[in-house]
Structure 1
Amino acid sequence: MPDMPTPPDVTVEILSGLTARQKTLPAKLFYDEAGCALFERITRLPEYYVTRAENALLARHAGEIAEKAPIGAALVEYGAADESKAVSLLDAGTRAFTAYAPVDIAPGALAAIVARMRISHPAIPVLPLVADFLQPLSLPASFSDKAAFGFFPGSTIGNFRPEAVHRFLGHVRDTLSGQAAPMLVVGTDLRKDESVLVPAYDDAEGVTAQFNLNILSHVNAIAGADFDLAGFRHRALWNAHEGRMEMHLESLSAQTVTVSGTRIAFRRGETIHTEDSYKHTREGFLALAQGAGWRSGGFWTDPDGLFGMHLLLG
């Protein structure tokens, strides 16, 4: 496979977040090798309905979604932790995809995708892109003669605040514009009762807590930090006003942590806000997309109405 460039240095971003009034860490740092493995465990938990609902949606509607793509298009998947959802589209319908470009910040996950795809789909060229897909990016030159069909499954777009949704969707329009008008299928977790939402982010087995705490291990590794994971605890809460689940890491005592030579003080009870997960209504998300220059080309949901996928047309 082609050499994979190292993702851009995020130390400045880490320090900016940890020195803000409300301390934060970028959610993309969840997904080192250990974080990816923990998230895979989360997707199989009884409380975590999202993956089951999305799989049910794809089982029922993958053919319809794939039929919307231009014939011979390249499938460009944003945030490709594995290829299973893309394969649902690659194998569906009669409009054959002729290339696959998984985009993610984790080189290890992309290398594993390439290895598996060589066996399962040897006829489909796969060119992974190691990139922070929140930033502008360019498709490989070998895709220049193909229409690009964007795919952003899961509920990752729920991690973005409205202004970040606008920026991301603008970048995607620029990336996918080429041989045909840009098209993007994006997954959204739909609004539902707090009694369903909170357990999905605070499971009885504690896997989500491990996942949240692991972000500190990742920061230790990439930013020369000395976080003691035992000094923090996982918190999950529903913010009804903002329409989002929030994950935080709460400091259990007054303590000082060093990050890349910078000393950062924590008060007891102070939190690092690690993730937002917005729960969108169909109409609310479409309004966001329209504000970024997209229009609706279709919408699908699972049988229980828990999860939705929008087809956006640029």
Structure 2
Amino acid sequence: MEFFKYTRTFNFMGKSKIAMIISIAIVLSSFALLATKGLNYGVDFAGGTIVQVKYTSAAPIDEMREKLKVNELFSGASITEFGSVEEVVIRMKTTTGSVTVDIGDETRAALSDTGEFEVRRVDIVGPKVGNELKEKGIMSLVLAVIGILIYVAFRFEWRFAVASIVALVHDVSIALGAITLVGLDVNLDVLAALLTILGYSLNDTIIVFDRIREGVTKGRNSDLSGIIDESVTRTLARTTLTSLTTFFVVFTLFMFGGEIIHAFAFTLLVGIVVGTYSSIFVASPILLAFGFDVKKYHIKLAHKAKREAEKQRMREQFESGVM
């Protein structure tokens, strides 16, 4: 299936300045949100206790708050709806007492007069474990970025590597800004979504870079801007189909997957849109801004081919006994 015919080349680089201004504005807005509002760390990273309760009818949240105030174990607990009016989540900080008692039994006892319900889930994470998970999560993101930098630099060139890393930082920054804006809890699911965004965005960028390298190597055009426009145009159909099919699948998870997977799906939705955009309007323009010289690259390839030919000639002479 072909949505875009290659009868003409789209002028993507002609719009790159406008796109970069928009990207910088959104990234700076994300940084401002992160600095002022900050990330809302969930139980996985901040430590605490989560009790998920489901009623047979609408949950009496106000009555639940009054009942829980009597028990010091639930001091400072917050109660919010969880996907439906019948289901709620009770969040509280982890204390020494909450670790040594059965929170499920305490919840049943405290809410026994509020209606018919069942305790569906109890999660307890200590503050020390939460800090360790947070540190390891940040480390996993940093190591992933370093690994990508080394891989792209080895496969292409250092300019390609830096351009791809800038695009990935752009994607993750906007995703974190969106998470902060809507107030989602940052937990292990969101971390998994961010790592998925890195892989998804890099895959799109690598495909575009492959086309650019092919255009630089085999083409006679020495204008890098024209090569990028042609390369992006040739990958546009594939990029559109891949992004749309992935988006629809994740959107289905977001709409019907339930509250448990809500944060994961939302983060991926933002990442898919931003990652597709950045592979065209962020990574490629940065490569152009670094001043990648097509003529020098051709000379470099010619010298490399000459050295390989010389090595092959000497190998053949050695094998034939002529030195």
- Same-fold call, TM > 0.5? no
From the two aligned structures, give the one with the greater strand fraction.
Answer: 1
Larger Rg: 2
From the two aligned structures, give the one with the greater helix fraction.
Answer: 2
TM-score, scaled relative to structure 1: 0.24
TM-score, scaled relative to structure 2: 0.24
Greater RCO structure (CA 8 Å; 6+ sep): 2
